[in-house]
Amino acid sequence: MYEIVKAKPDHEVKYTFPTDFWWGSASSATQMEGEANKDGKGPNIWDYWYETEPELFHNKVGPQHTSDFYRRYREDIANMKYIGHNSFRFSISWSRLFPNGFGKVNSHAVVFYNNVINELIKNDIEPFVNLYHFDMPLELQKIGGWENRSVIEAYELYAYTCFELFGDRVKKWFTHNEPIVPVECGYLYGFHYPAVVDFQKAVQVAFHSMLASAKAVQSYRKMHKTGKIGIIINLTPSYPRSDNPEDVKAAHIADLLFNRSFLDPSVKGVYPQDLIDLLKKLDYMPEIQPGDLETIQNNTIDLLGINYYQPRRVKAKEKLIEEGSPFLPEHLFDHYEMPGRKMNPYRGWEIYEKGMYDLLINIKENYNNIECFIAENGMGVEDEERFRDEQGVIHDDYRIEFMKEHLKWLHRAIEEGVNVKGYHLWTFMDNWSWLNAYKNRYGFVSVNLDKDGERTIKKSGYWFKSVVSHHGFN
C-alpha cells in the first residue's frame, strides 16, 4: 500500500490533538449523490436551473450525475474508514425525501439514507447530518422559496420527519449549511437560483431561514432526542484595511451583515442591535410576526459548525455608486486587496490561515465558548490530473500544506482554551461545485470522470490517515 508519511512514535508528534478529536470531511447531497431524477427524487432549484440554462455551468456539466455516491456509497465509506475518518457530514436531499418539498415521503429515499447511516456506523464513522444545503425543492421555489413564510412550515415537516426517521442513530444534526450563501448568492450576486438582485428579499430570506432553523431546534427538543443540534455557518473574519475609524466601521458593517446575521441569533438568540439599527436606517427591515423573535430567543443551538475558507478585507467606501443601481452591501464599504496576500488562484480566494484562529478566539470570547468544530475548510484546484504519478496517486502537496497550516492555528486555539472539537475537510471526494461543476477539485479522493468515476486516494488522503493515527503531526 502506498505510504506517504513514515510512522513516527507518538512522542515525536509536535502538534498533538485530543484522542477524541473529530477527524473527517463534509459533503452535500446535490454535490455528490447523482441519480438526481431517479428513485422518485423530485427536482430542486439546481436541477431546474441546469435544465433551463445549462450554459451557466462550467463545461455545461449539471447536477444530474455528480459523483454517484447514491450507488457507490459502500465503496466510498470504505475509503473514508481507510483514511481515518471517525465522522462524516452529509446532507439529506429535501427533494429526495419529499419530492414536492412536503406531503408524502419517498420510501426509496428512506432506504437510501438508512443504508448510508448504518454503513457509516458499521465502520465506526459518526454521521453528522445537515438538513438544508442550498437545495430548495423546485415546487417550493415556485412559491418563492425562503421568501415565502409557508416554506418554513414545509421545512419544519421535513426536519421533524428526518429526526423521526433517523434520530435514533444520528446524534449530531444541523439545520442549515451556510445560510448566508443562498441569501447573498440567490438575491444579491447571481450565483444561485433565483439569481435576482433585491436586498429587501435578501433580508426576508435571511430572516425566514433563521426562523426555520430555530423552529427545527424547537421541534428536535420537543422530541426529547438525546443528540445535539446546531447550525453550520461560514465565518469570514472581517479585517479593516487600517485602524482608521472609517475602515474599522466598514469592517464592522460587513461583519454584521455576513457573519453576525446568523451567528448571533443562532448562538445568543438575539440579533445584534447594530444590525437592527442599520437595517432600520436603510429601511430594509424584514417582516417579523409576533412571537418570531421569542422563537429565535428560546431555541439557540448546542453545537456550532464553522466553515472557514477566506477572510474578508474591507475598507471605507471610495468607489462611486452608479446612480440608480440596486442597493447592495457594497454600497456601504469597499473590498480591499491586501498587498502580498496569498491566493488560491483557481478559486480566487485568499488563503489566510490565522483567520481560523482569530474566529475561534472570537467564539471563545464573545460567544460563551460554545462547543464548535471546523465543519469545512479546503482548497479547490484545477486540473489535478497533472500531478498524478505512475502509481495513480495525485500528489496534492499544496492541500497537505493548506491543512497543516490551518491545523497549526487550530491547535493553538485548543491550547488557549477554545472549545473546538474537530476538523472536517471540504470534501471527502471530488464533487460537483454549484456553477463551477467539476472545475476545481477538493477531495481526499479523486473521482476520475473519464474512467467512470474511478476513485483513487490522493496523497492528502494518506497524509490524513497518518495524522489521525498519530493524533497529530510534526
Residues of the shown chain interacting with ligand BGP in the complex, contacts defined by CB under 6 A:
28, 31, 177-178, 181, 234, 307, 347, 376, 380, 426, 433-434, 436, 440
Query: φ and ψ at 344, to 5 degrees?
Result: -95, 105
All three cell numbers of 38, joined, read 431517479
Using the minimum distance from each CB to ligand BGP, give the nearer residue, 234 or 300: 234
CB of residue 380 to ligand BGP, shortest distance in Å: 5
Between residues 98 and 434, which has the closer beta carbon with respect to ligand BGP?
434
Q: Which residues are registered as beta bridge partners of 16?
A: 472
Smallest separation (angstroms) from ligand BGP to the CB of 30: 8
Provide CB contacts within 8 A for 147, sequence distance 6+.
Answer: 201, 204, 205, 208
Q: Which residue has the CB atom at the shortest distance from ligand BGP?
A: 433
Min separation Cβ 433 and ligand BGP, Å: 3
Q: Which of 126, 178, 350, 353 is catalytic?
A: 178
Say which of 33, 119, 139, 376 is annotated catalytic: 376
* Shortest Å distance, C-beta 395 to ligand BGP: 21
The H or E element that residue 128 is part of is strand 126-132
Catalytic, 376? Answer yes
Q: Which helix (H) or strand (E) holds 50?
A: helix 45-52
Minimum distance from CB of 312 to ligand BGP (Å)?
Answer: 14
Tell me whether residue 178 is one of the annotated catalytic residues: yes
Per the CB < 8 A criterion, the answer to whether 151 and 144 are in contact is yes
CA distance 305 to 6: 32
Residue 59 or 298 with smaller CB distance to ligand BGP: 59
- Helix 199-222, helix 150-166: angle, nearest 10: 30
Q: How many residues does the chain have?
A: 474
* 31/456 with CB nearer ligand BGP: 31
Dist CA 418 CA 412 (whole Å): 9
Q: Which is nearer to ligand BGP, 293 or 435 (CB)?
A: 435
**Angle, helix 69-82 to helix 107-122, in steps of 10 degrees:** 10
d(CA 61, CA 44): 16
CB of 342 to ligand BGP, least distance (A): 17
For residues 35 and 33, give the distance between their C-alpha atoms in angstroms, rounded to a whole number: 7
165/180 with CB nearer ligand BGP: 180
Residues taking part in catalysis = 178, 376
